[in-house]
Amino acid sequence: MYLVEWMLWQGMTADKHGWASLKGKISRFTPEGMARGEKVAKENRTQPQSDTPRTRSPVYAYNDTYLEMRAGCMEYARGLVTIISLFIFYLIAASANLAFLTFHDFFSKYEISAFVTGLFPLAGTLFFGWFYTKYGLTITRFEMLTQRRLLVRFNRKTRQVYLHRPRYAGGIVVLPWDQVQAMTDVGGIRFPMVLSWGRHGGRPNPESCFVGKSCATSGPVIDEWEFIRRFMEEGPEGLPRPRIRSKWPLPWHAFEPVFGGMLGLLLGRRDPRHPAEPP
């Protein structure tokens, strides 16, 4: 589900006066906001943030050199775009079929009523086809026609962060670890952890990346950030070894983002509260 990444990238690269532009509208990515966050970001990178570092998100590679994890936002909504797309396909196909049947009657019986009746489904076919081609096809490909997941790799030898995204969502980019700013609690919205970079180093636009899973409390997200921080700053020694997830598209993996939180709720599971959080 690359809808959020696509919207952010489009907003950052759009003309400043365009309706889609996000330049200067998100305080996190304004020059003032990035400057305010640099000092805090340095402390977050160099000082412990949790006593229980652990990973909750799928880890695809882990060794002395790099850590590779799943990135992306709103994976729990996977499947919704497909359902909507199939519904639009059905409307187009139904309208086209009805138009074909009515015009077939017109050409076989030359009844003017059949011709008039056929204009309505024909108009529906053209309208829904135009609307979907112009506005819907781009969104459908996020889920149905592109790579299944976004990846982020943390390389402690080069001290770089590698974001692996489709071209229309920013593409593959290499960013310095020493300039990353981490946000582990996005104002109660409960998005995943957000990593961001300003326009330093000749980058024309700010960059951002969602890492891991969303959570009802910020504690587990802080624990995951501490795991990444210690790996990059101190190395893998002393960290619990994460379970390595296969990159093969196994069928049940597609259901985890959708039903994972629901299953935990039904079974009464709850992530432990972080010590810094009030009861």
With 80 as the cut, is the pLDDT of residue 243 above it?
A: yes
The residue-averaged pLDDT of 41-47 equals 78
CB 163 within 8 A of CB 173: yes
- Categorize the per-residue pLDDT at 7 as very low, low, confident or very high, splitting at 50, 70 and 90: confident
Pairwise CA distance, residues 170 & 207, whole Å: 8
CB 147 within 8 A of CB 71: no
Give the pLDDT score at 26.
58
Q: Looking at the DSSP assignment, which residues form a beta bridge with residue 163?
A: 152, 173
The tokens for 182 are 């981490």
Q: Could you tell me the pTM of the whole model? A: 0.68
Mean of pLDDT over the chain: 76
With 90 as the cut, is the pLDDT of residue 261 above it?
A: no
CB 217 within 8 A of CB 185: no
Pairwise CA distance, residues 279 & 275, whole Å: 9
Q: Looking at the DSSP assignment, which residues form a beta bridge with residue 244?
A: 59
Q: What is the percent of the chain with per-residue pLDDT over 70, rounded to a whole number?
A: 68
Neighbours of 108 (CB within 10 A): 9
Give the pLDDT score at 207.
82
**8-state DSSP, 157:** T
Helix-then-strand count for the chain, H and E = 7, 8
The residue assigned the tokens 């995951």 is 224
Give the pLDDT score at 67.
96
> How far is the CA of 250 from the CAs of 226, 244, 256, 262, in angstroms?
29, 14, 11, 20
The tokens for 169 are 């969502």
Tens-place pLDDT, residues 151-172: 899 999 999 999 988 777 777 8
Going from N- to C-terminal start, the domains of the chain cover 3-72+149-236, 80-144
Neighbours of 67 (CB within 10 A): 22
